[in-house]
Structure 1
Amino acid sequence: MTTAKEKKQIQEEFKNRMDESELLNCMRCGFCLPSCPTYIESGFQESHSPRGRIALMKAVADGLIEPDEDVERSLALCLGCRACEPVCPAGVNYGQLLEEARDIINQNKKHKPGVHLLRKAAFKGLFPHQNRMQAAAGLLGLYQRSGLQTAVRKTGMLSILPEHLRTMEKVLPPVPKRKDMKERPRFLPAAHSVQKRAAFFSGCLMDTLFLATNHATTSLLQAAGCEIVIPDGQACCGALHGHSGEKETGKELAKRNIASFEALEIDYIITNAGGCGAFLQEYAHLLKDEPEWAERARHFTRKLKDFSSVLVELGFHEKNLQAQTPHTVTYQDSCHLRNVMHTSEEPRQLLKNIEGAEYREMEKADSCCGSAGIYNIVESEMSMKILDSKMKSAKKTEAGVIVTANPGCLLQMQLGIQREGLSSRVRAVHLADYLLEAMNLS
């Protein structure tokens, strides 16, 4: 429950910090409504649409309504998928408004003790420190390899968890050993003549739970003619912080990453996770009010590209790629890769050029799968509704492989496959891993 004092402070900060010109840019035209998953799945509730949420933000900033539990609930239920932005005729930067509003609310309310400790442990104690991420992932790997996972499943101990979390435990990837995580090389030569010099943003979860996918990505880039530097000192991108009302920590991580990459003589900074890439792309906005960092952030973002864009630019899609067995494949867009990094055709171009794999476009492939960072954990009911709708579209393609380009999306689609009882004939795979299979290098 937000106190009267907290509400007053939140209202004052909405007035001072929210971008009024951006709020006024919304013309209330409603073009965003058909693209908003929460608006559709909530039964077309206006307060759960982008237009409705902007109206609430403006009303709080103008002092017309209090920032009560209903306002907070509306903002919390938003996926932050930003599908509203490409269809907005006024070009409203909705995602930036959402993150600012969430930060104001989070920083000016008192969380319950348990929630406060959990947030502090995750956002400040774990994600900013890659050595701790490796240690945590190492424990998970030990759980998987030691036989404890099998024992826990047999005893039914997981039954205390909600159904979607029990299923999620089943779809977690095999975690590499901590030694393998620590022994990552810092320079990788091109497989043949050097076409480009690139720096690879390895990420936090991507370089622990999804280390194999990072290896697949760099192998593809090497084959395409990139020599790759993986700089020390880089950290978590800060996306979870930015989306969850921890803006200041997000800024700290942004500065660490900019400092780690800016001295390198490179053509690109490459990412392979749509959610990370989108937040990295927003560093210039995140640091716009800090003169000593603003231009450095713009220089950083100008070099940022998704690995699929670089592969197409270097002609990798023209290589002789061959499916290991004939099958049908479809693609699920990463919302942030599509809506923020504006990368959607390149993954499809790569998939369509694999011999033996019939590509079928998924209906509403550009709509959110319901993962959205930790949304599928904190807003599980809405997340599962969205996932169920997504799986209806996936099943219509009759694809044996569902490809995506973001770790959260990947786990969510694997979760959907399990929920639908399709695990014996359908698999979800990251684009990098799938392309490496087609090269017969895996």
Structure 2
Amino acid sequence: MSTAARTIAPLPAAPARRPVSMAGLLARFAGAGLLVSVILAVLLAVLSRQAGTDQAEQAARQVTWLTAKGIVEPRLTPEVLAGDPAALEEFNAAMNAYVVQGSLVRVKLWDATGRVVYSNESRLIGETFPLGEEERQALTTGGTNSEISDLAKPENRYEAGFGALLEVYTGIAGPDGRPLLFEAYFLYDSVAEAGQAQWQTFAPAALGALLLLELVQIPFAWSLARRVQRQQQDAERLLRQAIDASDDERRRIAADLHDGVVQDLAGLTFALDAARLGTPDPARDRALLAEAATQLRRTTGEMRSLLVEIYPPDLATEGLGAALVELAGALERDGLRVDLDVDEADGLPLPASSVLFRAAQEILRNVVAHSRAREVSVAVRRAAGSATLVVDDDGRGFDEAELPERQRAGHVGLRSLGDLVRDSGGRLVVRSAPGQGTRVDVQVPA
């Protein structure tokens, strides 16, 4: 009985993914590395300059303290504190000779009332200005402190021509023991230059190290980009194989249903309808029912075998051995003798069991479709770290040299199986010769 065959539409193609560009990956990596290097360089510059500036300010405080204790304090006399012109002129000469030089451009000496006892700017001598909290603290405790001068203050009006100044003050004692405040003004440009010098000292080594790190990372980035590209290519190849295999499987199942179960059931239906509509005949009807029961049992077996192929047993719970027994049962119902040796099949890891079961499905399908075999043996062997499926039939075999040509002609089952086994880390070996049957060995890691 013939019925119209249904065409199974192929699965929709997976959306094309943009291939990984190695140059793009490398450029992004190098750009990110360069950006990080620039950020680190800027951060290093800021920190180095700040460290240099801090060191310069610390040096200015030390110079001020040494000057105050070693030069100013020993030369203070009651006449200087009283404002005697001759004493002040002699004191001023000592300050100009030993203190006011280089970046130190202004000195002032204050008493506790805020009166300027001495300054190398003589117009300030005798004037009184309010002292700040930090200045009073240094005066009473003898400590040293520094700050950027506020040139807008009246006491600093004669320093405006110097530009930015670092103001350092420390407490000293007069000849009568009363507290005084010594103040030194340094050109801030010298402090900034010290910070710049600090940066310039470390900049070549730091930038060189960052550049070397970037250059060293580029080969690793190139290797990583190639690995990503290969992985993407492998994933796309596996996806194409999965889509092709699924499409082929759907077509094969449709053909099996159409040529087998559907034809048998259609013929049985017509026979039963004819008996129902015809003249009753008990003997004929009993024979027809017996034939219908036999046909239904055979069809049920075929459907069971088909279901095993569509949805294989749960290998994780039932094991590979039970799944192979199901496959063998389907072959025996088709009249093929199957010799099973699967005692070592159970207990395998699920990935290995899955690959071996799919391999057994494909190999036994080829046996039924092409080999014209009468007998086939299926065995599972285990060795240290591996498991091997061996399928050996007594069919007509084929010339192994013709295998590539058969694959080009559309027989891609073994090629797809080889890809599956290779991707699992195993190997597939096919041995055959015309008239001598075919043996297939599938070995996978276990």
- Structure of greater relative contact order (alpha carbons < 8 Å, 6+ residues apart): 1
Give the TM-score normalised by structure 1: 0.20
Point out the structure with the larger strand share: 2
Give the TM-score normalised by structure 2: 0.20
Q: Larger C-alpha radius of gyration, 1 or 2?
A: 2
Point out the structure with the larger helix share: 2
